[in-house]
Amino acid sequence: MDLLFEDINRDGYIDISVKDNTNIHLFDAHTPQTIWASPPLDYMYKCYTMGDRNDDGWIDIAIVKKEPFTRRWIWENYDTVWVDIYQGPSFSGHSYFEVLLFNVHVSENILWEYYEIPTAISINKISGLNGLEPVLILFTDVNETIWNFFSRYWIYNTGKLFIFDAVNYNLKYSVGLGKQLFHNFQTIDNNIFLNVVSSYHDSTIDYYWQYRWNITTCTADSVLYSNIIYRQYYDINDTVNWNGFKIDDFSSINGGLENCYSAEDTLVLLRFPQVDTLWTAADVNIGSVLYRFADSSLYDSPQIFCSMSDQLMGYRLFDGSDGSLSGVLLNAGYQLSAISDLDNNGRDEILSIQGLLLYIYNLDYTTGIGDDSRLPYRAFLLPNYPNPFNSSTTIEYGLPEAGRVRIDIYDLLGRRVETLVDEEMQARRYHVVWDASGYSSGIYFYRIEAGDFVDTKRMVFLK
């Protein structure tokens, strides 16, 4: 399911478009009411977008479909892609145009497979004869495999970018930019930049490219590559695999966009597009970078919203200015689908699609380190973080009422090696840090006793 956000009915508030299994729904979350629902979608659907295609001030919808079959044993075969356009504000006006993508499956002593699939579409503007003109930007993935009788000996995964005039649908540009993993647009001094992170795979070689392309400097006679003002190469075989790469304004101290990615339990923020490191947070127990989160009532600076890398359903927030852990959402009970400030009040809402229902949450508070703003409604002991850890780890727990608390550390043989807490404590949330630098690597357990509440959890110490 896909979520997009625009002021569709021009009432000054952000509206939502959501794709379910059968339709694309445009929804006013403030009324609430459905603005429009698309005709039923089928197995040909690939992607969609919203934007002002014809510069009339109203949001339009572009839906991409591709024929589902491949004509085998034909060298010069092209499959058809349809881009359906529905005109706002009523979406009753409908037009479409076709794109041909090269797709073959042939055999002459060798077997050659070449498939190209549309993966994303965007509506934006580039410069033209009459100033900035709307365009449709289509991204595709290319997968090419050559087999030598019984063995596969070459695999090539990359992608392309197509730019079409958004009014008459003429093709303006086409270029290979790799398989796009992430893209967004940035406007600086009336220039519109397209930022792209793409991947390339050639047999056993994997690497990433980062592009920054000033699309407002393009004209009909310009060469596309001459307008790429920044291109960065990353060999992920020589470093680490990226997880959850994002480009956004994460840090208020930088005054621009940043690259943020997680890799091997480390969160890294890089200046964009220079790619010099602003900060690194290690051993932070995260899975992937999800979104930029802003809430003026909770945080003074933008936060980086990350999933947890363990099996606990929850998320962590890191301050974009310095990478410090600023909050934890534990046992959230939902999968985060998107973040957006729907009511323009400086507080982002959290959106979650659960089954066929869309839930919208306000984040009233997070469990911060040392945060005792809310009393727990029951005693709890949380998984330590990071886990596994090197040198030290943090254990969080909470009490709904005052009482005596004891927390002990045990080794794998059940021997108590250290007592972290043994005292009378008031009702609130707590955290305690265990410094394990004097112990050997291995599996340890920590156990809490607080009145009738007893719980034990496992942790791994790796030097």
Q: Report the predicted TM-score, pTM, of the whole model to 2 decimal places.
A: 0.71
Residue range 299-308: mean pLDDT, rounded: 86
- Closest by CA to 365, choosing from 285, 297, 284, 458, is 297
Residues sharing a CB contact under 8 Å with residue 252, sequence separation 6 or more, in sequence order: 301, 302, 320, 321
pLDDT value of residue 63: 97
Which CATH code for domain 250-368?
2.40.128
Q: Prior bond to 39 cis, omega within 30? A: no
> What is the arithmetic mean of pLDDT over 275-303?
82
Predicted pLDDT of residue 373: 44
Nearest to 370 by CA among 390, 393, 398: 398
pLDDT digits (tens, 9 = 90+) for 167-200: 999 998 888 878 887 787 777 677 777 777 777 7
pLDDT at residue 350 greater than cutoff 50: yes
> CA gyration radius for the chain?
26
Of 52-66, 356-370, 378-392, the one with minimum mean pLDDT is 356-370
**3-class SS at 420?**
strand
Enumerate residues 6+ apart whose C-beta is below 8 A from 448.
381, 397, 405, 406, 407, 454, 455, 456
Q: How far apart are CA 444 and CA 458, in angstroms?
A: 6
Q: Percentage of the chain with pLDDT > 70? A: 79
> Residue range 212-225: average pLDDT?
54
Give every CB contact of residue 323 below 8 A, 6+ residues apart in sequence. Answer: 267, 269, 279, 280, 281
CB atoms within 10 A of CB 360: 14
Distance CA 56, CA 58 (A): 6
416 vs 445: CA distance, rounded Å: 9
At 317-329, the pLDDT tens digits run: 899 998 888 887 7
In this prediction, residue 197 carries a pLDDT of 75
**Element holding 7 (H helix, E strand):** none
Q: Which segments of 109-204 are extended strands (E)? A: 110-128, 131-148, 151-165, 171-176, 179-188, 191-202
What CATH architecture is 380-461?
Sandwich (2.60)
pLDDT for res 372 = 43
For the stretch 94-148, pLDDT in tens is 999 999 998 887 765 567 788 899 999 999 887 666 677 888 999 999 988 877 6
Residue spans of the domains in the chain: they are 250-368, 380-461
CB 138 within 8 Å of CB 121:
yes
- Does position 340 have pLDDT exceeding 50, yes or no? yes
What is the rounded distance in angstroms from the CA atom of residue 376 to the CA atom of residue 418? 26
Q: Do domains 250-368 and 380-461 have the same CATH topology?
A: no
Q: In whole numbers, what is the pLDDT of the chain averaged over residues?
A: 80
For residues 32-47, b (16+ Cβ closer than 10 Å) or e, as one string?
eeebbebeebeeebbb
- CB-based contact 315:306 (threshold 8 Å): yes
Backbone angles phi, psi at 441, to 5 degrees: -60, 150
pLDDT band, residue 444 (cuts 50/70/90): very high
Q: Which amino acid is at 290?
A: L
Query: Quick one: which H or E segment has residue 103?
Result: none
- Sheet-wide strand order for 258-263: 243-248, 258-263, 266-271, 277-282
Higher local confidence (pLDDT), 135 or 297: 135
**Pair 409, 445: CB distance under 8 Å:** yes
As a whole number of angstroms, the distance between CA 3 and CA 49 comes to 10
Is residue 50 scored above 90 in pLDDT? yes
For position 367, what pLDDT does the model report?
A: 53
| Contact in structure between 326 and 319 (CB atoms under 8 Å) | yes
What are the pLDDT digits (tens) for 69-91? Answer: 666 666 678 889 999 999 999 99
Residue 399: pLDDT band (50, 70, 90) is confident
Listing DSSP states for 332-376 in one string gives --S---EEE-TTSSSBPEEEEEETTEEEEEE----B-TT--SS--
Token representation of residue 255: 């005054």
Start-to-end CA distance of the chain, whole Å, equals 42
Calpha distance 211→193 (Å, rounded): 10
Lowest mean pLDDT among 44-48, 137-141, 323-327, 435-439: 323-327
